[in-house]
Chains A and B, each alone.
Chain A
Amino acid sequence: MADVHSEPFVINLGPQHPSTHGVFRMRLTLDGERVLDMDMTVGYLHRSTEKLAEERTYIQNIPFTDRMDYLSAMTNNLAYCLAAEKLLGIEAPERAQYLRVIMSELQRLANHAMAIGAFANDCGAWQTPLMYMFREREKILDLFEMTCGARLTTNYVRIGGVSFDVPPEFVPAMTALLAEMPRRIEEYASLLTENEILLARARDVGVLSAADAIDCAVSGPMLRASGVAWDLRKAEPYCVYDRMDFDIPIGVNGDCYDRMVVRLEEMRQSVRILEQALAQMPQGPVKINVPLAVRPPVGEAYARVESPKGELGFYLVSDGGPTPYRFKIRSPSYINLTPLKQMMVGHNVADAVIILGSIDIVLGEVDR
């Protein structure tokens, strides 16, 4: 029988695509169904945030940080404000710290709801898990709107505190949400984690070992799913995380299924933190007055937070002027893309889409 001549061909998962989570381009070299090589192109959403920020004052830069990872604006604001506060040498009042923690954890819940839902969507579950999780996300976004007037680009955390105190209807609404969240998360867990088809799709797909994860400097749920017990809320507790009692979930295998399970478990832990924060929050001022064109002393600072995507860091260099001299964003989504090719090669095309979905990137953060 003559040998059938076959050659690899290249398909383009172009920037416009139903499931590349934004404008992200991948060129896959395929041999039949198997991926041989992957070449990615980012930069379709590059808005030169770092350059623009060098021409605006520190307070004017806060809305820029919202729009980077537009699905978790609160933690972006928080990271930047922590870096600016480090430069200035000030600290926010205690009530503001608690509010920051509350908002960060609410944001984590909303983000993971979207991440898990989108992942299940990539696996083919026709938006049913996504729609279920969006119920809770809507309530969380309503809480955000109640507090600061915006659902996604919140611009809430400011240098020296937070911008507004929560209105009186916030606490009852949040208590109601926290009361039903555990039951909802159990519902999602039972629908997703025991599902054989999801197991068949996502188990042993896109495996990243712990050593590789550390070498590629991935962070966040992706690092924890590979088995590395590392969470900035425990390692470098910012705000009042050192007063909260919570666990960090780690995975065993480092595949897409583990990442989903880690995110689900993080949602449960977030509910725990929120209950404690709400109980412990003191009264008091929520903001230190910082001048509009504040000039920090010459120096530099690097501050990092555990955003829902990973370790979000801001490296600010000040030259004594009203605008930052260097505004560097250490974006977790961009760096989490480092092992993408290694994870994809050898799998099917269908798995390629799932692997990209499990990293949970937001192109606003990748491209800045």
Chain B
Amino acid sequence: MSRYLGGKEVAERIARLLPEAVVDVAPQWVVVDPTKLLAVGRLLKDDPELDCRYLISLTAVDRIDHFDLVYHLASLAKNHVIVVKARLLDREKPEAPSLTAIWRAADLQECEVYDLMGIRFSGHPSLRRVFLWEGFAGYPLRKDYLNMPGGVKPGLPLFPGVRPDEEGAVDG
């Protein structure tokens, strides 16, 4: 099995060089300050012990009151995976630094996150909406996409054919 490094381990290593970067620690991931993401990324890539030169996945989760940017990083040479998160508290115009300077793999994945979640990445060479088009109303993966201002409801109802007052018929 690849080792999934625990949050404490990674937090310790990060805190050694960038003490105020770590915001929160969980058993499986580390939460860092979004403004320090570039420094943390470079540390994670250059550190000989962590050696995270492979960016597996870059994604975002909409947690109603804030956004969570989730980075899965791996080291092929040492065969371990670490999970780094960053909380973006601004709901209207979330912004984070782009990590394309560190890992080129972030290029397309940040475009996807921008397209579907609306998080802008500053410093990205060509941030654009990949799947949808420029001018698309809203950002679909957000949780409030179904209730857009003006009463627009572009999404599906919960289950087609189910009356809104029913339980949603999940135990079918």
Which residues from chain A sit less than 8 Å from chain B, CB to CB?
41-43, 46, 48, 50-52, 55, 57, 212, 214-217, 228, 230, 235-237, 292-293, 300, 302, 304, 311, 313, 315, 317, 322-323, 325-326, 328, 330, 334-335, 337-339, 367
Q: Which residues B34-57 have CB closer than 8 A to chain A?
A: 53-57
Contact for A334 among B55, B103, B112, B141, CB less than 8 A: B112
A42 touching B61, Cβ below 8 Å: no
Contact for A313 among B54, B57, B170, B172, CB less than 8 A: B57
A43 touching B132, Cβ below 8 Å: yes
Further pairs besides A57-B170, A326-B61, A338-B107: 20, Cβ < 8 Å: A42-B130, A43-B131, A43-B133, A46-B132, A50-B116, A50-B141, A51-B145, A55-B159, A217-B56, A302-B57, A313-B72, A315-B59, A322-B170, A325-B61, A326-B62, A328-B57, A330-B56, A330-B57, A334-B108, A335-B105
| Chain B residues within an 8 Å CB radius of A46 | 131-132
Q: Which residues B74-95 have CB closer than 8 A to chain A?
A: 76, 79, 81, 83
| Chain A residues within an 8 Å CB radius of B133 | 43
22 CB contacts below 8 A, A to B, read: A46-B132, A48-B140, A50-B141, A51-B145, A52-B156, A214-B54, A214-B76, A215-B104, A215-B105, A216-B105, A217-B55, A217-B105, A292-B171, A293-B171, A300-B28, A302-B81, A313-B56, A313-B72, A335-B105, A335-B108, A338-B104, A338-B105
A334 to B146, CA, bound (A): 27
A346 to B83, CA, bound (A): 37
A337 to B108, CA, bound (A): 8
Instruction: Give the size category of B's interface with A.
Output: 35 or more
A217 touching B54, Cβ below 8 Å: yes
Give B102's nearest chain A residue, CB to CB.
A215
| Chain A residues within an 8 Å CB radius of B56 | 217, 304, 311, 313, 330
Q: Which of B28, B108, B112, B158 has the most CB of A within 10 A?
A: B108
| Chain B residues within an 8 Å CB radius of A214 | 53-54, 76
Flag whether B21 is at the interface (Cβ < 8 A).
Answer: no
B105 touching A302, Cβ below 8 Å: no
Give A57's nearest chain B residue, CB to CB.
B170
Q: Which of A212, A214, A330 has the most CB of B within 10 A?
A: A214
| Chain A residues within an 8 Å CB radius of B171 | 292-293
Flag whether B155 is at the interface (Cβ < 8 A).
Answer: yes
Chain B proximity of A40: nearest CB distance (Å): 9
Chain A proximity of B98: nearest CB distance (Å): 14
| Chain B residues within an 8 Å CB radius of A337 | 108
A176 to B157, CA, bound (A): 49
Chain A proximity of B144: nearest CB distance (Å): 12
A335 to B56, CA, bound (A): 9
Give A242's nearest chain B residue, CB to CB.
B1
Flag whether B70 is at the interface (Cβ < 8 A).
Answer: yes
A315 touching B72, Cβ below 8 Å: yes
| Chain B residues within an 8 Å CB radius of A41 | 130
A315 to B61, CA, bound (A): 10
| Chain A residues within an 8 Å CB radius of B55 | 217
A215 touching B103, Cβ below 8 Å: yes
| Chain A residues within an 8 Å CB radius of B156 | 52, 55
A55 touching B130, Cβ below 8 Å: no
| Chain B residues within an 8 Å CB radius of A215 | 53, 103-105
A139 to B105, CA, bound (A): 37
A228 touching B76, Cβ below 8 Å: yes
A59 to B170, CA, bound (A): 11
Give A334's nearest chain B residue, CB to CB.
B108
A55 touching B72, Cβ below 8 Å: no
A136 to B28, CA, bound (A): 44
Chain B proximity of A204: nearest CB distance (Å): 22
Q: Which of A41, A292, A338 has the most CB of B within 10 A?
A: A338
Q: Which of A42, A236, A328, A367 has the most CB of B within 10 A?
A: A328
Chain A proximity of B146: nearest CB distance (Å): 9
| Chain A residues within an 8 Å CB radius of B81 | 302
| Chain B residues within an 8 Å CB radius of A43 | 130-133
A236 touching B140, Cβ below 8 Å: no
